[in-house]
Amino acid sequence: MFLQIRGMVAIGLTSVLLASVASCGGSEAGKKTGAFSAAILEPSSLMPANYSEVYGAQVVSALFTPLVTFDIKTNETRLEVAESVESTDNKVWKVRLKPGWTFHNGEPVTSRSFVDAWNFAANKKSAQLNAYVFGDIKGYREVASGAEETMSGLRVVDDLNFEITLVRPWSQFRQLLGYPAFSPLPSVAYKDPKAFEQRPIGNGPFVMEGAWQHDQQITLRRNDSYAGTKAKAGEVQFKIYQSFDTAYNDLLANNLDVLPAIPTARSTEAKSLLGDRFGESPSGRMEYLGFPVNGEKFTSPGVRRAISMAIDRDAITKAIFKGTRTPATGFVPPVVPGAAADACGALCVHDAAAAKAAFDAAGGIPGGGFTIGYNSDAPENKEWVEAAARQISKDLGVNVETKAYPKLAVLLGDLSSGKVDTAFRTAWTFYFPSPENYLKPLFTQDAGENFSRYRNDKFEALLRDGAAAKDTEAADAKYAEAERVLLDDMPYVPLWYQGVMVGHSKRVSDVSVDSFRRLRIESVVVK
Amino acid sequence: MSRYIMSRVLQAVLVLVGATFVIFVITFALPGDPVQALAGERAADPAFAEAIRARYHLDEPLLQQYVRFLAGALHGDLGQTYSGQDVAQMLGERIWVSAQLAAFALAFQIVIGVGAGVLSALRRNGVADTGVRIFTLAGLSIPFFVTAFVLQLVVGVKFGWLPVAGTEDGFLSYIMPGFVLGSLSTAYVARLTRGQLAESLREDYVRMATAKGLTRVRVVAHHALRNSLIPVVTFLGLEVGALLSGAVITESIFNIPGMGQAMARAVYLGERTTVVGVVTVFVFVYVVANLLVDLLYAVLDPRIRYA
């Protein structure tokens, strides 16, 4: 009997081993001509209105093309599926589509494809994470609450024309239309959204090849009947990693073609190892030190400005971030068209004497010291928060403590519910390239992310003026003015703008990453 | 014997229910709101949070959620991840991946562990024995994630002999992670085999077999080794369960889409359904492995009877 069992175990073990030998072969995408591989992390969703991070955006943008897109260098808005997007009053927007756009299954892209997709996304039953971006369309509230199925502000004129009515004038709405959540969906999407998400059918430059293999890969093939500028590479294999450290090793071992986010810890080494196959690009992400402005310690704008001047952004970005982040010079990063140059001026430059003088003039901090809360699940947070705390403590002569939250979700949850009474680390990434996107969602009184509970009527009036402005220059002037008000009040201290480091293999060229930190896969050339 | 098995199966059911309940309660204590975790870097929109809570019944009291889970599980429905994947289906795919990894680890333990142990016992205090003892000491004392990173850099990146990560190269992909996962216990198996075999070789029946004129190979392989392997087999049986569940770190380092990886992320995201689903499978494997080992005792040693 012992022998029999031993035999069975042996047979079982051998068969498992043999089966895995048989399944060998796997994907050969990396070796096919015209094909390359790129690293991503597991996307949270592939529905245009439901993803939460860069990697969802990466895949969704390859599969779907919205009405407008943004120039990779200047971030200027360019018409894509739209022939024109016009408004005379910034409130009623008339969209005209270019004829000839189709989904990957052959269905033509019409006004309905957009209107139905937006109504679906806004609907409570769909539970789409990014539904809030439709919030300024008339009738959004009714659809979001489940009372209505369609937003009254969306009106289909004919196959190629439709109208969007907003609840307020909004000059920046054309830019918002480039956010992937505004992508069209084919009618098949609504029949079984869950199945659709595993293999979305879009109108973008790439077609999904096979289903989404969770935590393994997503393979895309070039859409040869794409109505826009066709992609250069024939096939892209997105390899899904748990961490980019592993992906970086894979790049060095030549098993990966493009890594769009080299870990900071490996940056120095990567620069010398990869040479001209290493690149850096700026992005629209920035980081702040925030204050609960109604808390007793932080009510004084003078104190907040003093803290800003006590932080040596230069030293921290060089020593801790290895130059991958650049010191902030305002609330709007330079990658945004219309951003004011060096709006912050001396307030964002380290000056120990000026900081101390401003601090004393403002009467100091009640209780003598304060605490900075941060989430410790991001690798560099602990390092820089402690460094900043030491600098502030030294320059202002106060005791600065730090408090670690185990996860970002915990910190964000506490910030949302107003439980945080300490200073805190926070970050923001734009979802459309306009100065307004760095001001309104963070610092207006009814914004969901106004973690500092800041309120300034003059600031909000300026934003309203910008939204009603007749042209871009007039709007940008108003936003610049609003930014100055904000800098004077300093509810958040702008710290630095984040860049990305990208590395690639010898097989590919023309590798670029846009300000949304998406690898522009359509322009990558396979040698 | 069948009565014994019956009572053990009943116990197993109780263990399963108890374990899932404990895990279920623990997941409520995980820090952070799972809905906020879904929203990534931004604060979750209240309307979205409400919709998700309603969809996954997160607004219900703990006990009601647990009963709902239990009722579903009895029908083979382990629920869905908060991003909409079917947990049972996901585990069905992943358990196969983890099983392959465990099989490779087990194969390393048997081949290298037992092999080294035998070699060591036969050449006691010789060069081979000293070598094996040094290697097993290293295997036992170096944390396995250090072994993992070093192998990944040297074998994968520098020499390119084996794939660095992922599973797309089929069985080649499993060699390095399988070795790393099995390394700790391989050392243990080698030492166990060495000790047991060295003892057996001094037994009377071995001397008897040699006196009968049997070849050295037959004496060692058939008479001495077979008897020495009893504790080793017991250990390996329990090890199967440990290998399946112990792969959390190995799977993450080598980017292997198995159960451990799913578990690690689910814990981070506070995704109750996945955590409980994975744990249910782990508990099941442990219970079955335990039962098999207990039954194996009776097979290996006729003096043990389950009446």
pLDDT tens-place string over residues A66-92: 999 999 999 999 999 999 999 999 999
Inter-chain touch A214–B33, beta carbons under 8 Å: no
Contact A20/B at CB under 8 A = yes
**Which of A371, A368, A373, A372 lies closest to A398 in space, CA to CA?**
A368
CA distance to A36, A230, A275, A426, A502, per residue, from A506 (Å)? 11, 23, 11, 37, 13
Q: Chain B interface, mutation test: which of A11, A239, A246, A381, most B Cβ atoms within 10 Å?
A: A246
In this predicted structure, which of A178-182, A191-195, A477-481, B278-282 has the lowest mean pLDDT? B278-282
- Choose the closest CB to A124 out of B37, B51, B107: B51
Give yes or no for a contact between B37 and B293, defined as CB atoms under 8 angstroms apart: no
Contact A15/B at CB under 8 A = no
**Which of A489, A435, A490 lies closest to A463 in space, CA to CA?**
A435
Q: Of how many residues is chain A composed? A: 527
Contact A100/B at CB under 8 A = no
Q: Is A380 exposed, middle or buried, given 0-12, 13-18 or 19+ CB atoms closer than 10 A? A: middle
Inter-chain touch A409–B36, beta carbons under 8 Å: yes
CA dist., res. A137 & res. A342, Å (int): 34
Inter-chain touch A24–B296, beta carbons under 8 Å: no
pLDDT tens-place string over residues B255-276: 999 998 888 888 888 888 888 8
| pLDDT for res B244 | 77
pLDDT tens-place string over residues A116-131: 999 999 999 999 999 9
pLDDT tens-place string over residues A432-472: 999 999 999 999 998 889 999 999 999 999 999 999 999 99
Among residues of chain B, what percentage have pLDDT more than 90?
A: 13
Contacts of A26 in chain B (CB under 8 A): 167-170
Mean pLDDT to the nearest integer, B210-228: 84
Q: Which residue of A has its CA nearest to B34?
A: A409
Tokens of A415: 């910030």
**Which of B274, B44, B78 lies closest to A50 in space, CA to CA?**
B44
Give yes or no for a contact between A215 and A39, defined as CB atoms under 8 angstroms apart: no
| pLDDT for res B201 | 87
| pLDDT for res B301 | 66
Contacts of A255 in chain B (CB under 8 A): 163-166
Contacts of B36 in chain A (CB under 8 A): 409, 412-413, 416
Contact A273/B at CB under 8 A = no
Task: State pTM to two decimals.
Answer: 0.89
